[in-house]
Structure 1
Amino acid sequence: MPPRTDSRQRFLDAAADLFHTKGYHATGLNQLVSAGGAPKGSLYFHFPGGKEQLAAEALTQSSARLSDTLRAILADGDTDAVFAALAQNLEDSDFERGCPLATVALDAAAESELIRQACVAGFDSWRVAIHDFLLDKGVDAERAANLSVVALSMLEGGLLLAKTQRDIAPLRTVADHLRTTLERELP
């Protein structure tokens, strides 16, 4: 693996942003090179697998950042804060940035095993963060495993609806329903 450099990180950051807002197929190499602020040869030096490798690594980076954010918020025990942070992100981006994986997952995961695997790992890292939170709250392991899938699915659905409707109301509805569900489940 090539050494980490500022230009490598700039490519990852630019790619994460472009793929998040435009998707995989709507983002061209020239856009990536321009946004990365380095020559095309530099992109291939750092990412010999080209756009596909860059996308997978950018998705991995975005996933890790959101996983860290989820864990930090959930460490305080405030599930409503998760929804508030997601809603704020949507509003701050004028509803361009929902889930950092969903656009690419829907756009390219069926044709690229590398991208599909990055999406699987990313979604699973978020599910595990929720699972661990539930375990810490005393939910038994099997129930926590099931609830973490349901909670992540609700988050993703709420984000998608909020983004397409350009309204955070679906996220509020999901937050209310999940809060009620958790109140019944937590010992």
Structure 2
Amino acid sequence: MAARGETRARVLETAGNLFSRQGFHATGVNQVLAESGAPKGSLYFHFPGGKEQLAVEAVAAEAGELGQILDTILDTAADPASAIIAMADLLAARLEDSHFVDGCPIATVALDVGADSDPIRTACSAGYDQWVTSIADYLTGFGINTDTASELALLSISSIEGALLLAKTQHSTAPLHRVAGRVAALVTQEVSS
């Protein structure tokens, strides 16, 4: 028998994967339980707020996980251009490995239910804010002033997010690579000035 924490973690991970692939409305509680192998009564035991609480926590977990990967990229990149390219490469590989199913762990949920649920919208916003802040902090380390670094970080996330959507729909990672190259050039220009 799985420990309480193990069951909760398994449900949360399964929900995160399903929500990011299918969206909130297309993902049923029974599907989450079946795919996680959790007993029927466990969802409301671990998530008394039901599906909405599950989505909030799943989005936060998925955003945090990708945020840690992003931080590792930023810690090891030689320069901002290399960091932008590495982020796009990571997302491109993830997309290709999933046969163009796995995109952004936040976007599908944000588009599906962000306007209908303030707690879910807030979780999505916090995830994006975490990523933008990480990039902005990284850029300030290269001498870019705080306001410009924040703008460039927002541009980076927004551009890569849009390119990821195009890549997913076109079944080609070319949009990701092209956009990342352009953003990297803009960031390099700012570092050089």
- How high is the TM-score relative to the length of structure 1? 0.96
Q: Deviations over 1:68-88 (max 9, x none)?
A: 111100112232111111100
Partner in structure 2 of residue 42 of structure 1: 42
Partner in structure 2 of residue 106 of structure 1: 111
Partner in structure 2 of residue 180 of structure 1: 185
Inter-partner Cα distance in structure 1 for 2:188 and 2:49:
47
Partner in structure 2 of residue 139 of structure 1: 144
Partner in structure 2 of residue 51 of structure 1: 51
SS at structure 2 position matched to 1:5: helix
Partner in structure 2 of residue 73 of structure 1: 73
Inter-partner Cα distance in structure 1 for 2:146 and 2:88:
24
Structure 2 residue runs of 5 or longer lacking an equivalent are none
After TM superposition, give the deviation of residue 40 of structure 1 in Å.
2.0
Q: Deviations over 1:141-179 (max 9, x none)?
A: 111111111111111111111011110010011111011
After TM superposition, give the deviation of residue 101 of structure 1 in Å.
0.5
Residue type matched to 1:69 in 2? I
**Are 2:158 and 1:153 aligned?**
yes
Structure 1 residue runs of 5 or longer lacking an equivalent are none
Inter-partner Cα distance in structure 1 for 2:142 and 2:103:
28
Partner in structure 1 of residue 121 of structure 2: 116
SS at structure 2 position matched to 1:99: coil
After TM superposition, give the deviation of residue 4 of structure 1 in Å.
6.2
Inter-partner Cα distance in structure 1 for 2:4 and 2:107:
27
Matches within 5 A, 1:4-43: 5-43=5-43
**Are 2:137 and 1:169 aligned?**
no
After TM superposition, give the deviation of residue 138 of structure 1 in Å.
1.3
Aligned pairs, how many? 185
After TM superposition, give the deviation of residue 183 of structure 1 in Å.
1.3
Residue type matched to 1:100 in 2? P
Q: Deviations over 1:26-54 (max 9, x none)?
A: 00111011012112211100000011100
Q: Deviations over 1:90-132 (max 9, x none)?
A: 0000010110000010001111111001000001001011111
Residue type matched to 2:133 in 1? V
- How high is the TM-score relative to the length of structure 2? 0.93
Inter-partner Cα distance in structure 1 for 2:58 and 2:25:
15
Inter-partner Cα distance in structure 1 for 2:4 and 2:159:
36
CA RMSD of aligned residues (A): 1.2
Q: Deviations over 1:56-79 (max 9, x none)?
A: 100000000111111100112232
SS at structure 1 position matched to 2:38: coil
Residue type matched to 1:83 in 2? A
